Structure 1
């Protein structure tokens, strides 16, 4: 590693342990870029993929890590990207990027706060973040509101790509609600953590709202060929 690269890495906040940020040339970073490419190819003239929901069947499967790393690789491609922490029950995005969480999505949905007031710049060029904001007593109702529909329209006009980091879909209805509104959905699966019955339930819940499931991101593989990294596969 060159002196310049070491200096650049040292300037990255310690809490930001995103592989796509600290080691862009690593195999796992390349896997995330492959996911990005697959999402881009899933777009068509009839259905452009501009809003993406990332969820999992249960906790601890890596959906927030996947959301953040995908946001980084999309931003690295020169697109204006907004990562929205729509997990108003257990938010993590502000910690990942070392941002404040005093205001965010919950404020925008429950008050007359404008989008610009709730969006923060990240350490990554082209990448902006809307944290979850203060905990709300009714996340599902807020996400299913008319104001949420209006917000999505506003964001589509302001950013090239928007990623919604959602709670696990089997636990609460939040991800199911947003999957019905977004252009596409990614389901994150983790080896030795994801239960087969929970995964099947997740697929059923997504099917019920006619979600456009683009595929699955499988992580935690112990296969020597996969080296424990992430990869993309169609959901069929």
Structure 2
């Protein structure tokens, strides 16, 4: 929307702002395409590198053993290559169809050789375009729109059924191919070991060549889409001279108002500065407390790359992308062997440092490593883990004195189990100082690979000290720009430094950090 003013410089600013909007919108779209192209380019690069290694190994085997692996001279080998090629094609199509079933919005993403499905997609896209026209012309409550929309829904349901049937058909074909492959490999079992190795390498080589071809085609499709992008908004022009001219106000009054406002703003800034100067603002501040190494967990803006979300959606392909949100948790686990540590607790100095968020994502990270993990919500007052996992109406830790241990454990996600805070209102000290709690921990040690306790904050919560005395390993969580330095100092004094295995700096702003482009996102001195 354009702005009219009698002042030329204001009109110039309005024009620049309009140009900026268009450029920003286009850059946002271009960034999406750039990310896709960069990802595909990295994949192609990796596969080409693997292809070079395979060619080198194959040549070495042929030269050292004087082997001839000509497909024409070995019909069984030739048939095995064809089977591998078909298997790669079928797996790729099944993956494409399954992805669409999970997110059935863009039919253009479906890659299939089935003419029936291709025809159904074409019909569905025609109906979708028709709906857009009817929406603009008549609105979404018109008879014409509703009639076409109902037909569109039926077509989409039919397409889903066809896709499901196609996946079943492809799975059957794939199983048959695998049986044939096994049969052919058995026929080749009488050959030398070196020849078998060469056959495996060549099969892998052909499969990789097919994958590179598919990725290259996808790259070309993205380039075509990128060339066709346009801004997805329209700027309306209403540049008419206003009926009423606004005269300038008294300059003395403006000057007095500016002085008062400046004074008020200065006072506010001083107050804010005094408040924030007593909190942990950067990693260098930690060295004052004898903390020489802290792992960074960045400020999250996209929950799709968190370990909890990936485990919940079983979207393990995101691990390959190496996103910083996921990798920051994986680095903490692997560099400190948390996946092999039987029992440890996670705590912080005060409420709000994000310890429960860290707890459930570390537990999800370890669960993805094929370990059976159980997470105990020991914060019986607040119970964040209980709320996150949707177990607020189930038995839990507070019911330990009167319930069977098995009844307190719930399978939340794959390899991830939880013990919620429970339903009984009782003094937490009575729970954690009881023999039943010790017996429960011993019971869990026999059943699970890793046991994680999400503890209450150390300061101003009495029962935390009881649990600290029972455990040998802790993770201490602090939050950048939130954890007060005095509270951090007092909390560390209450736990023996030998027990703190890991320090985690949560909420780190990487956009202003010198470590933003480093491979590992922690600081070690």
The TM tier, using the shorter chain, reads 0.7 to 0.9
- Paired position in structure 2 for 1:67: 359
- Paired position in structure 2 for 1:116: 406
Q: Which moved more, 1:218-227 or 1:124-133?
A: 218-227
CA, structure 1 residues 22+5, in 2 after alignment: closer, same or farther (shift >3 Å)? farther
1:173-215 residue CA offsets vs partner (Å, 9 max, x unmatched): 33332222223101111011101111111111112xx761102
CA, structure 1 residues 196+154, in 2 after alignment: closer, same or farther (shift >3 Å)? same
CA, structure 1 residues 223+21, in 2 after alignment: closer, same or farther (shift >3 Å)? closer
- Paired position in structure 1 for 2:326: 29
Q: Which of structures 1 and 2 has the larger relative contact order (alpha carbons within 8 angstroms, sep 6+)?
A: 1
Q: Give the CA deviation at 1:152.
A: 0.9
After TM superposition, list the pairs within 5 Å mapping 1:152-191 onto structure 2: 152-191=441-480
Correspondence 1:220 to 2:517: no
Q: Give the CA deviation at 1:151.
A: 1.1
Structure 2 residue matching 1:220: 3-state secondary structure: strand
Distance 1:6 1:148 in 2: 47
- Paired position in structure 2 for 1:20: 307
Q: Give the CA deviation at 1:35.
A: 1.1
Query: Of Structure 1 and Structure 2, which has the larger fraction of its residues in strand?
Result: 1
Structure with greater Cα Rg: 2
Structure 1 residue matching 2:446: 3-state secondary structure: helix
Distance 2:466 2:99 in 1: 42
Q: Give the CA deviation at 1:18.
A: 8.0
After TM superposition, list the pairs within 5 Å mapping 1:1-236 onto structure 2: 4=98, 19-23=306-310, 24-25=318-319, 26-40=323-337, 49-108=341-400, 110-111=401-402, 113-122=403-412, 124-134=413-423, 136-207=425-496, 212-224=499-511, 225=513
Q: Is the 8 A contact 1:52 1:185 kept in 2?
A: yes
Q: Is the 8 A contact 1:35 1:232 kept in 2?
A: no
Distance 2:419 2:342 in 1: 16
TM-score, normalised to structure 1, is 0.81
Structure 2 residue matching 1:132: 3-state secondary structure: coil
Distance 1:89 1:9 in 2: 39
Q: Is the 8 A contact 1:143 1:174 kept in 2?
A: yes
Count of aligned residue pairs for this structure pair = 218
Query: Of Structure 1 and Structure 2, which has the larger fraction of its residues in helix?
Result: 2
Q: Is the 8 A contact 1:55 1:187 kept in 2?
A: yes
Distance 2:463 2:374 in 1: 19
- Paired position in structure 2 for 1:46: none
Distance 2:499 2:345 in 1: 10
Structure 2 residue matching 1:170: 3-state secondary structure: coil
Distance 1:99 1:38 in 2: 32
Q: Is the 8 A contact 1:88 1:139 kept in 2?
A: yes
Distance 2:338 2:386 in 1: 30
Provide structure 2 residue ranges, at least 5 long, that are not aligned to the other structure. 1-35, 37-95, 105-302, 311-317
TM-score, normalised to structure 2, is 0.38
Distance 2:420 2:488 in 1: 27
CA, structure 1 residues 8+196, in 2 after alignment: closer, same or farther (shift >3 Å)? farther
